Structure 1
Amino acid sequence: MPDVAADGLHVLFCGINPGLMTAATGHHFARPGNRFWPALHRSGFTPRLLKPAEQDELLSYGLGITNVVDRASARADELSAQEYQEGGRRLSLKVAKLRPRWLAVLGVTAYRQAFDDRRAKVGPQERTIGETRIWVLPNPSGLNAHWTAGTMAEEFALLREAAGLPRLG
């Protein structure tokens, strides 16, 4: 699954791994029940609700998307601890090269496993990768019932504000 990324982004969003529909379409967060695109819009990162096929438009807002693990699966719980650890190493190298201001990892469990930080919670992290700060966001999968679309958008908005970005839309 190719990244939507460029040097010096404001925020590089990092999914856990591509779902099967994402892998089939080539568009990040493609499953209709995924709340990434609605949360991104409702939080003010984008002026309108983007469709997964419009993912490249994110670059015009200084935003991008990557994944911790490259392998597609139906569910994130199909990934091994080794895949998360290797993904965390590769992600750190990618972030060091691209130098986004913020890395936003979408899923606290994925962050904990990829970066061996068992105490991490949703929100800003103490860890940095070079000058890049890290924020853990809730996993936008429709399977994550702990967060509603509204509370997820509120958390995204906190990151947008911390990044100093204006509310679009």
Structure 2
Amino acid sequence: MPTDPPYARPTADDLAAARGREIEDWLRPDLDVLFCGINPGLYSAAVGLPFANPGTRFWKAMHEAGFTDRVLGPWERDAFLDAGLGMTNVVRRATARADELTPEEIVAGGRRLVETAETYRPRWVAVLGLGAYRTAFADRRAATGPLERRVGPARAWLLPNPSGLNAHHTVATLGAAYAELRVAAGLPDRRRT
């Protein structure tokens, strides 16, 4: 990330207190792409920002893919939105690991995602997580890449999750996968040369 974050690193007590919290969605009408994580981690919930854990590869992958002109930090909401990009989660409740979520929560989150897409009308919805998408939309055959189904009015794309727990992906492979969506969405490569 480009600079030191404008918040203190959460303590163990802060992380414990963050369990179950929600973080604010980054939304505005008519986004190019609405990125949808599985759910906030405890670090993100403790500081109130998406993909805030220093170990996340999301921000680097977004830049590698050409969605952003530089590696943004999770505190740069306006720059993200100004690039035509938004952020939400399938499930709003923070947990230490995504496997703490129930299938019922994930299915309800899929319905919420459809409602969000109907309200804000992004051109694309990109879900960051194969298992969450398959559960949320009862689609056991879904694979990463463009999807046949729409999420509300938006075209849908399934991307690998940038969590460090998804160890078989690197920033480079995540960036390449995310760049396929950028190209399909007709967005320019914003990386500074």
Q: Is the 8 A contact 2:65 2:179 kept in 1?
A: yes
> Which stretches in structure 2 are left out of the alignment for 5+ residues?
1-22
TM-score normalised per structure 1: 0.98
Equivalent-residue separation in structure 2 for 1:91 and 1:131 (angstroms): 11
Equivalent-residue separation in structure 1 for 2:79 and 2:132 (angstroms): 26
Q: 1:133: which partner in 2?
A: 155
Q: 1:61: which partner in 2?
A: 83
Q: 2:49: which partner in 1?
A: 27
Q: CA deviation at 1:133?
A: 0.3
Deviations for 1:32-87, whole angstroms, at most 9, x for unmatched residues? Answer: 11111000011100000001111331111100000000100000011000010110
Equivalent-residue separation in structure 2 for 1:145 and 1:55 (angstroms): 27
1:145 aligns with 2:171: no
Runs in 1 of length 4+ with deviation above 2 angstroms? none
Equivalent-residue separation in structure 2 for 1:139 and 1:2 (angstroms): 20
Q: CA deviation at 1:149?
A: 1.1
Range that drifts further, 20-29 or 129-138: 129-138
Matched pairs, number = 169
Equivalent-residue separation in structure 2 for 1:46 and 1:110 (angstroms): 25
Equivalent-residue separation in structure 2 for 1:13 and 1:130 (angstroms): 14
**Quick one: which amino acid aligns to residue 124 of structure 1?**
P
> Which stretches in structure 1 are left out of the alignment for 5+ residues?
none
Q: Given the alignment, which residue of 14, 30, 36 partners 2:36?
A: 14
Q: Between Structure 1 and Structure 2, whose CA radius of gyration is higher?
A: 2
Deviations for 1:140-160, whole angstroms, at most 9, x for unmatched residues? Answer: 001101211111100000000
**Quick one: which amino acid aligns to residue 125 of structure 1?**
L
Q: Secondary structure at the match of 2:186?
A: coil
TM-score normalised per structure 2: 0.86
Q: 1:167: which partner in 2?
A: 189
Q: Given the alignment, which residue of 146, 164, 178 partners 1:156?
A: 178
Q: 2:97: which partner in 1?
A: 75
Equivalent-residue separation in structure 1 for 2:126 and 2:171 (angstroms): 17
Equivalent-residue separation in structure 2 for 1:89 and 1:57 (angstroms): 28
Greater relative contact order, per chain length (Cα 8 Å cut-off, separation 6+): 1
Q: CA deviation at 1:129?
A: 2.8
Q: 2:71: which partner in 1?
A: 49
Deviations for 1:6-27, whole angstroms, at most 9, x for unmatched residues? Answer: 0100000000000001101111
Q: Is the 8 A contact 1:28 1:55 kept in 2?
A: no
What is the CA RMSD across the aligned residues, in angstroms? 0.8
Equivalent-residue separation in structure 1 for 2:106 and 2:77 (angstroms): 24
